[in-house]
């Protein structure tokens, strides 16, 4: 039986429960690549098609929400969300929501994403159809199926591909019906920072994940290699900015994203110093904010 909402979260409304279930602290991960992809299109084509831009952002957000909800119920059913987990409480394992209603919500969210995607497919054609179907399938496979992505060492790669390469290049294609090496570089920047968020999550949960049979990169490689992975993912976007200058001829404006370097350094220092525990929840949220900050600065640089 589901516990009364009042007894689980001090009288918080069901709307608030659902808001927590979609994990709002990291939702910007799906919006940042759309923003940057459209900004690069503006830089290259001197225009932005607003309807494709808005609908691409909506589709990306819906797919992430659906993935987060499916992850919530999927981890519960696999017994991965134990009482001793260090991350924020999950809606189903905490008894706030029933597994069935979360599954219905997943179907509804993905159905709306398909409706939104139908217009994008009409606009962008077969490449967008394949990209959309692959994104939804990957969202389900992240926690579902016999070999979930989240239970393997490929979680960071999944995020890099779908929240970096796919989202940025897909958005750029909807605007220009083309792709460029500059777009690939931008996609790698945004994807690297998105993947860094997953590194924090898996590093924090390493001990619990090992106990429940998850074989994430952190579990397989250990904490030392996870620290190196995190630092490399944070540093890669700044190194790629130099190459982007040669592809886009954006000039000195591309120095703007370097304004987020102090934030990146402070997050890296905290990651390296923090003892495994709930303190990584704040580091995870700050890493997502770093991606958003970097993306906004890069978008401004490309628009100017």
Using one digit for the tens of pLDDT, what is the confidence trace for 284-298? 999 999 999 999 999
Q: Is residue 7 predicted with pLDDT exceeding 50?
A: no
Contact status, residue 241 vs residue 225, Cβ threshold 8 Å? no
Q: Which two tokens stand for residue 127?
A: 């490449």
The ranges assigned to domains in the chain are 5-303
SS3 48: coil
Q: What pLDDT sits at residue 248?
A: 74
pLDDT digits (tens, 9 = 90+) for 162-178: 999 999 999 999 999 99
Burial environment of residue 86 by CB neighbours within 10 A (0 to 12, 13 to 18, 19 or more): middle
Check: CB of residue 168 under 8 Å from CB of residue 186.
Answer: yes
* The model's pTM: 0.91
pLDDT of residue 268: 97
Q: What is the DSSP letter of 276?
A: S
Contact predicate 40/186, CB 8 Å:
yes
pLDDT of residue 2: 43
pLDDT for residue 269: 96
Residue 299 has pLDDT above 90, yes or no: yes
Distance, in Å, from the CA atom of 257 to the CA atom of 300, rounded to the nearest integer, reads: 9
Residue 81 pLDDT level (bands cut at 50, 70, 90):
low
Q: What pLDDT score was predicted for residue 262? A: 97
How far is 258 from 225, CA to CA, in rounded Å? 26
Q: What is the pLDDT of residues 12-59, one digit of tens each?
A: 688 888 998 898 988 999 999 999 999 999 999 999 999 999 999 999
pLDDT of residue 39: 95
3-state helix, strand, coil in the chain (%, to 5): 80, 0, 20
Q: Measured between alpha carbons, how far is 61 from 240 in angstroms, rounded to an integer?
A: 26
Rg of the Cα trace of the chain?
19
Checking if the pLDDT of 263 tops 80, the result is yes
Other CB atoms within 10 Å distance of the CB of residue 278: 12
85: left (phi over 0), alpha (psi -120 to 50) or beta: beta
Q: Mean of the pLDDT values across residues 133-150?
A: 83
**pLDDT value of position 82:** 59
Asked whether 264 and 241 are in contact (CB, 8 A), the reply is no
> Is the pLDDT at 194 greater than 50, yes or no?
yes
- Other Cβ atoms less than 10 A from the Cβ of 251: the count is 10
Q: How far apart are CA 191 and CA 186, in angstroms?
A: 8
Q: Would you place residue 196 in the very low, low, confident or very high pLDDT band (cuts 50, 70, 90)?
A: very high
Contacts of 3 (CB under 8 A, 6+ apart): 94, 95, 96
d(CA 89, CA 96): 10
Residues of 3-18 as b/e, b for ≥16 C-beta within 10 angstroms? eebeebbeeeeeeebb
End-to-end CA distance of the chain: 56
């Amino acid at each position: 039986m589901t516990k009364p909402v009042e007894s689980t979260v001090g009288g918080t409304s069901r709307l608030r429960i659902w808001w927590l279930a979609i994990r709002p602290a990291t939702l910007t991960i799906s919006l940042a690549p759309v923003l940057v992809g459209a900004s690069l299109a503006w830089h290259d084509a001197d225009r932005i098609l607003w309807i494709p831009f808005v609908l691409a952002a909506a589709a990306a957000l819906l797919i992430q929400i659906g993935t987060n909800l499916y992850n919530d119920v999927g981890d519960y059913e696999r017994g991965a969300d134990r009482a001793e987990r260090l991350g924020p409480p999950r809606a189903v394992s905490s008894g706030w929501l029933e597994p069935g209603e979360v599954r219905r919500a997943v179907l509804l969210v993905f159905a709306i994403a398909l409706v939104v995607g139908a217009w994008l497919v009409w606009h962008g054609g077969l490449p967008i159809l394949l990209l959309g179907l692959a994104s939804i399938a990957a969202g389900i496979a992240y926690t579902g199926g016999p070999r979930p992505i989240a239970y393997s060492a490929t979680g960071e790669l999944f995020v890099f591909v779908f929240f970096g390469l796919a989202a940025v290049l897909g958005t750029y294609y909807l605007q220009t019906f083309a792709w460029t090496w500059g777009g690939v570089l931008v996609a790698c920047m945004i994807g690297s920072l998105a993947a860094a968020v997953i590194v924090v999550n898996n590093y924090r949960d390493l001990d619990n994940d090992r106990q429940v049979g998850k074989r994430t990169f952190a579990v397989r490689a250990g904490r030392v290699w996870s620290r190196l992975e995190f630092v490399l993912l944070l540093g890669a976007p700044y190194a790629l900015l130099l190459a982007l200058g040669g592809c886009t001829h954006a000039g000195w404006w591309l120095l703007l994203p370097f304004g987020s370097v102090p934030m990146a350094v402070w997050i890296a220092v905290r990651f390296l110093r923090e003892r495994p525990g709930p303190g990584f929840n704040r580091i995870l949220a700050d890493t997502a904010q770093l991606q958003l900050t970097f993306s906004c600065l890069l978008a401004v640089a490309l628009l100017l």
